[in-house]
């Protein structure tokens, strides 16, 4: 990269200064401060990495060198109007526009067509879209997307013009369509192929099917509650799917479903023209070994019509099939008369197999080419896994028609058994030695390309991770023969080269953030490492100040340095937050507030928050900083007032909380906290308590995505010393594990436990039961009425995505609350249940059903049902 710009640098030496200019103002950066004759190539590289930049030109003005940058317009706002069933974010993604991002080659007409097609595929056949945009003198663009969604159409049937041989429901099923489903025009068009296959499979060998269009009408259809139920006669699975599709219709489109049930729904019918032609009756005679259904699949149905070529190709395919199964004397003939095709099969005897040569492979007694080849492949796979890498089998066959037998000669060549004896590292780097020790512990074993690829990949990753970007290795292989085995030793010579150091840090996009804040967040160390890059990116995301973060590297191989470019997209400083949810314990819950981000440009977060439900009311004001003058430290201070309504008591408390923490590594946090609260209890154990609480909070949390993790683990311990009107200690441990097994299947495990000393008031003792933990028991029924001093809890849950927005789960809970751990361990309670949920435009809807796994007296007995809309608080 440096060589590319060396001429430019030499060209600028005779001038007094370097100036950066653009058609529209660039976002804030430290480029100009870094611009010099020596670093000009670095700034040009950084500009080339930016999505904002279209082109860069170099010129002169007087004695100055000018870098002229042509910048794309930046999207200042995106207004989406008229949409209800498709969210704003989805429309922005389809349009390729987003606030604070460059507007690159934006074509309003193409976006309009994209959105219209997207809506039509989702049943909105009359959707209209208008897209406009303007760009001001500062290069900021305003994009306006106006949508008229129109009516949602369900499939109300289909017209099959010219079809008379099959029922309407049979043809619908053949086309892959289901009455009552949301209409998809593209799917209706593709139904032509299903109809053609169906007709030709039924003997209409001259048939043709054409899609003519869509017919729209108003009407009533009860199929919207069970889409595709008419197909249940062909498949039990279709009947079950119809129930799920009906639930999806009802939750995603309740108004459209209601209108359709009342007779005012919008129904669409694809129109097909079917040319059935003559129906040919295809018969087979003499086929003792294979059914007519098996032989019918061999007919040449891809070519329409019946002619000499169709008959000949079909005959050849049938004969080839029989010969592959050992019927070498087969003869197939055909006759055709008045729409009737008769294939006469003279099978003859099925030939046996006499195996000659190699006897270590068991083959079938009768000839079957497909089965023989499969067994040979399986045998070779097994022996190659044992180390016989060059093993091979040649098959020579001779058909003996007189004896009705195939003499099959197996020529097996095993070759040498290749053993990986050792992996030797010649060098003195301890980390590399440790890497080799891990692989050497597996030896000896049959030579495997996988283990060598893994070792080589680990070596390359070591170079990148530790900053040895020129690192390389060579391999020498030494072999030793012993009998029929070849023992290989791989000798590795590792040349790490010079270790790269960090160079310049370029920052772009920090309009409000002080550059020092980004310096605090990014990992600073002498030598380059991929771990430092990952942690820097993670820190920037975790700071919550940015909607987008990008980190790029420029490797200067001459200077052995790595320069960094940090590009940020800042979030709005002031955010108004409002959330509404419902669950059967708290009823309606409303939470709102104001979040002030990046205060004073130093990463401070301010918040004013209030929430209210039937059980809780909370009011809070606070300040926090995720990276307090360093990536290692964080802090938080808040004032709060809370009202809590429990089963056996009510609590009102107010006070303050101050915490200060240290982050030794990315996934670990240690914080010290102190709070003072005034607490007033009514109900059980009434009284007033002024308490000062101090302690330590330890946490380890690893996740694969900071926003929507699919895999994560959490472990935390909180230990407190409480003084004031009561003196006691309190400790609580929580852990959570989430793992995605496959794309649509995940499991999670949660465990928790706690202990509190004698003298703790009721609000610091423990209860279990309800939506958050023991779902088979009523709210806080375990530990009631006065709570326990110890508790243990565990949960296992399996979640499966069923179809589209629908998912289901199975779970089991175990827990106990008592006054000592010995009692807690003896008195465990258990429950089990299942859950299902659906994502809808109105929010996420979840239903949990659970039952205790023991007989209990009322009101604890029975099945507990929980409904939650939005999210669980």
The matching CATH number, chosen from 1.10.287.70, 3.30.930.10, 3.10.20.310, 3.20.20.140, for 352-413 is: 3.10.20.310
Quick one: how far is CA 227 from the chain centroid?
28
State both tokens at 660.
């200060």
Q: Residue 861: what pLDDT?
A: 56
Separation of alpha carbons 816 and 754, rounded Å: 11
The matching CATH number, chosen from 3.10.20.310, 3.90.1150.10, 1.10.3720.10, 3.30.1330.10, for 417-495 is: 3.10.20.310
In the Cβ-directed half-sphere of 783, how many Cα atoms lie within 13 Å? 30
Q: Phi and psi (nearest 5°) for 563?
A: -95, 150
* Weakly modelled stretches of the chain, pLDDT under 50: 1-15, 872-873
CB 491 within 8 A of CB 477: yes
Quick one: how far is CA 665 from the chain centroid?
26
Separation of alpha carbons 113 and 131, rounded Å: 10
CATH topology of domain 625-871: Porin (2.40.160)
C-alpha separations of 407 from 142, 324, 331, 369, 371 in Å: 80, 15, 22, 13, 16
Could you tell me which CATH number the domain at 281-346 has? Answer: 3.10.20.310
C-alpha separations of 501 from 34, 336, 504, 561 in Å: 18, 83, 10, 5
What are the DSSP calls for 783-842, one per residue? TTTT-BSEEEEEEEEEEEEEETTEEEEEEEEEEEEESSHHHHHHS-EEEEEEEEEEEETT
Q: Residue 347: what pLDDT?
A: 95
Q: Residue 12: what pLDDT?
A: 43
State both tokens at 369.
């080419």
CB 782 within 8 A of CB 827: no
Q: Are strands 745-756 and 265-275 parallel, antiparallel or unpaired?
A: unpaired
CB 799 within 8 A of CB 747: yes
Q: Where in the chain is the domain with CATH 3.10.20.310?
A: 74-148, 281-346, 352-413, 417-495, 501-570
State both tokens at 774.
């023991």
Q: Residue 230: what pLDDT?
A: 77
Helix (H) or strand (E) holding 274: strand 265-275
Separation of alpha carbons 222 and 179, rounded Å: 9
**How many Cβ atoms from other residues are within 10 Å of residue 575's Cβ?**
12
Give the single-character DSSP code of 280: P
Crossing angle, helix 236-252 and helix 254-261, to 10 degrees?
Answer: 110
**CA-based torsion, 189, 194, 196, 198: positive or negative:** negative
Separation of alpha carbons 39 and 503, rounded Å: 11
Separation of alpha carbons 782 and 773, rounded Å: 11
pTM of the model: 0.80
Separation of alpha carbons 758 and 240, rounded Å: 56
Q: Which CATH class is domain 74-148?
A: alpha beta
Helix (H) or strand (E) holding 751: strand 745-756
Residues 6+ apart with CB under 8 A from 270: 158, 159, 175, 177, 185, 188, 189, 191, 211, 213, 214, 215
Is the domain covering 1-71 a CATH 3.40.50 domain? no
CB 272 within 8 A of CB 212: yes
* CATH architecture observed for domain 153-229+238-275: Roll (3.10)
Helix (H) or strand (E) holding 109: helix 108-121
Quick one: how far is CA 360 from the chain centroid?
47
State both tokens at 410.
């197996």
Give the single-character DSSP code of 183: P
To which CATH superfamily is domain 501-570 assigned?
Answer: membrane protein fhac (3.10.20.310)
Separation of alpha carbons 870 and 872, rounded Å: 7
What are the DSSP calls for 41-58, one per residue? HHHHHHHHH-TTEEEEEE
Q: Which of 287-302 are b and which e, b meaning 16 or more Cβ less than 10 Å from the residue's Cβ? A: beebeeeebeebbbbe
Which of 212, 77, 56, 209 shows the shortest CA–CA distance to 135? 77
Give the single-character DSSP code of 100: T
Percent helix / strand / coil, the chain, rounded to 5 = 25, 45, 30
Which of 272, 270, 274 shows the shortest CA–CA distance to 165? 274
SS3 label, residue 11: helix
């Amino acid at each position: 990269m440096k060589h590319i710009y060396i001429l430019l640098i030499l060209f600028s030496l005779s001038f007094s200064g370097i100036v950066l200019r653009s058609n529209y103002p660039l976002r804030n950066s430290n480029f100009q401060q870094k611009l010099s004759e020596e670093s000009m190539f670095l700034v040009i590289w950084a500009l080339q990495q930016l999505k904002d930049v279209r082109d860069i030109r170099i010129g002169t003005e007087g004695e100055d060198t000018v870098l002229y940058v042509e910048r794309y317009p930046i999207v200042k706002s995106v207004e989406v109007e008229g949409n209800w069933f498709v969210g704003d974010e989805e429309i922005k993604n389809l349009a390729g526009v987003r606030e604070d991002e460059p507007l690159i080659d934006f074509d309003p007409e193409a976006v309009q067509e994209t959105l219209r097609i997207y809506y039509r595929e989702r049943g909105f056949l009359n959707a209209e879209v208008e897209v406009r945009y303007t760009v001001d003198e500062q290069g900021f663009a305003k994009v306006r997307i106006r949508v008229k969604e129109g009516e949602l159409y369900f499939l109300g049937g289909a017209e099959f013009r010219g079809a008379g041989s099959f029922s309407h429901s049979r043809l619908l099923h053949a086309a892959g369509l289901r009455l009552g489903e949301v209409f998809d025009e593209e799917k209706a068009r593709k139904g032509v192929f299903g109809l053609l296959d169906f007709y030709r499979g039924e003997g209409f060998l001259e048939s043709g099917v054409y899609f003519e269009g869509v017919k729209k009408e108003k009407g009533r259809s009860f199929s919207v509650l069970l889409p595709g139920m008419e197909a249940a006669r062909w498949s039990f699975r279709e009947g079950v799917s119809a129930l799920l599709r009906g639930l999806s219709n009802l939750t995603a489109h309740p108004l459209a479903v209601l209108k359709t049930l009342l007779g005012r729904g919008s129904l669409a019918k694809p129109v097909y023209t079917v040319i059935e032609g003559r129906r040919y009756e295809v018969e087979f005679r003499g086929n003792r070994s294979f059914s007519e259904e098996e032989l019918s699949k061999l007919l040449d149905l891809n070519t329409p019509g019946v002619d000499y070529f169709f008959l000949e190709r079909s005959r050849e395919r049938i004969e080839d099939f029989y010969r592959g199964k050992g019927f070498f004397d087969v003869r197939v003939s055909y006759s055709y008369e008045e729409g009737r095709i008769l294939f006469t099969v003279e099978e003859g005897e099925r030939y046996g197999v006499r195996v000659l040569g190699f006897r270590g492979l068991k083959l079938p007694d009768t000839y079957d080419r497909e089965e023989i080849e499969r067994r040979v492949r399986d045998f070779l796979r097994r022996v190659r896994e044992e180390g016989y890498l060059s093993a091979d089998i040649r098959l020579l066959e001779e058909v003996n028609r007189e004896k009705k037998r195939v003499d099959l000669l197996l020529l097996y060549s095993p070759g040498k058994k290749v053993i990986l004896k050792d992996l030797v590292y010649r060098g003195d780097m301890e980390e590399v030695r440790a890497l080799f020790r891990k692989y050497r512990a597996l030896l000896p074993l049959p030579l495997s390309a996988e283990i060598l690829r893994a070792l080589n990949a680990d070596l390359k990753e070591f170079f990148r991770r530790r900053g040895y970007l020129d690192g390389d290795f060579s391999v020498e292989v030494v072999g030793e023969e012993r009998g029929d085995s070849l023992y290989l030793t791989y000798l590795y010579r590792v040349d790490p080269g010079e270790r790269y150091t960090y160079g310049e840090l370029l920052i772009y996009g920090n309009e409000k953030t002080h550059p020092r804040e980004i310096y605090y967040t990014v990992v600073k160390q002498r030598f380059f490492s991929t771990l430092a890059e990952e942690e820097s990116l993670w820190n920037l995301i975790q700071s919550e100040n940015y909607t987008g973060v990008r980190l790029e590297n420029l490797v200067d191989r001459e200077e052995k340095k790595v320069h960094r470019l940090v590009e940020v997209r800042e979030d709005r400083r002031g955010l108004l937050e409002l959330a509404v949810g419902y669950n059967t314990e708290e009823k309606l819950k409303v939470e709102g507030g104001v979040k002030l981000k990046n205060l004073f440009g130093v990463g401070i977060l301010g918040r004013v928050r209030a929430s209210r439900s039937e059980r809780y009311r909370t009011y809070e004001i606070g300040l926090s900083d995720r990276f307090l003058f360093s990536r290692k430290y964080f802090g938080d201070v808040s004032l709060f007032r809370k009202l809590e309504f429990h089963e056996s008591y009510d609590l009102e408390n107010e006070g303050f909380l101050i915490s200060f923490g240290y982050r030794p590594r990315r996934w670990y946090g240690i914080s010290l906290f102190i709070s003072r609260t005034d607490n007033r209890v009514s109900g059980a154990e009434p009284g007033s308590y002024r308490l000062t609480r101090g302690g330590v909070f330890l946490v380890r949390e690893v996740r694969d995505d900071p926003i929507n993790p699919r895999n994560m683990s959490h472990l935390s311990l909180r230990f407190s010393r409480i003084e004031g009107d009561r003196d006691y200690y309190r400790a609580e441990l929580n852990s959570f594990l989430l793992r995605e097994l496959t794309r649509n299947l995940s499991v999670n495990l949660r465990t928790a436990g706690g202990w509190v000393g004698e003298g703790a008031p009721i609000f610091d003792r423990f209860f279990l039961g309800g939506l958050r933990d023991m779902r088979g028991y009523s709210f806080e029924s375990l530990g009631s009425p006065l709570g326990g001093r110890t508790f243990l809890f565990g949960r296992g849950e399996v979640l499966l995505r069923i179809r589209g927005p629908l998912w289901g789960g199975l779970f089991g809970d175990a827990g106990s609350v008592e006054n000592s751990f010995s009692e807690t361990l003896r008195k465990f309670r258990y429950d089990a249940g299942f859950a299902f949920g659906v994502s809808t435009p109105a929010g996420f809807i979840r239903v949990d059903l659970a039952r205790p796994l023991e007989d209990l007296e009322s009101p604890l007995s029975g099945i507990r049902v929980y409904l939650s809309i939005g999210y669980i608080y």
